[in-house]
Amino acid sequence: MSEGESRRIAHELMSEPHIRGRRISVRQVYALVEERCEGPEAVADRYDLDVADVYHALAYYHDHPREMREVKKEREDAIADFHESIDRPEGVDPDAV
């Protein structure tokens, strides 16, 4: 295993790092624990993970800041492209409140 790789983090799904064998991404784990203040144990229980998986995902997020910024930008760009490509009736703005 090369430097920077993890036995618990994979890249084969969703074009972004995720917990190996699962569909939950490193960014999702980060958001739940560090942005929504959910405990690592609660996240592990909810997604049927080892608590070590949660901590490995958090460590990966912080160990790879440039990759995580690039993944976030790619996702934001894809969402923006999708919103621009939707054929809406004139005058309909989904972002208007």
- The per-residue pLDDT for range 57-81, each reduced to its tens digit, is 999 999 999 999 999 999 899 888 8
Distance CA 91, CA 53 (A): 46
- Phi and psi (nearest 5°) for 80? -60, -45
Task: Check whether 86 has a pLDDT greater than 70.
Answer: yes
* Phi/psi at 60 (5° precision): -60, -45
User: pLDDT tens, 12-55?
Assistant: 766 789 999 999 999 999 999 999 999 999 999 999 999 999 99
Query: Is the model more confident about 94 or about 80?
Result: 80
0.75 cut: is pTM over it? yes
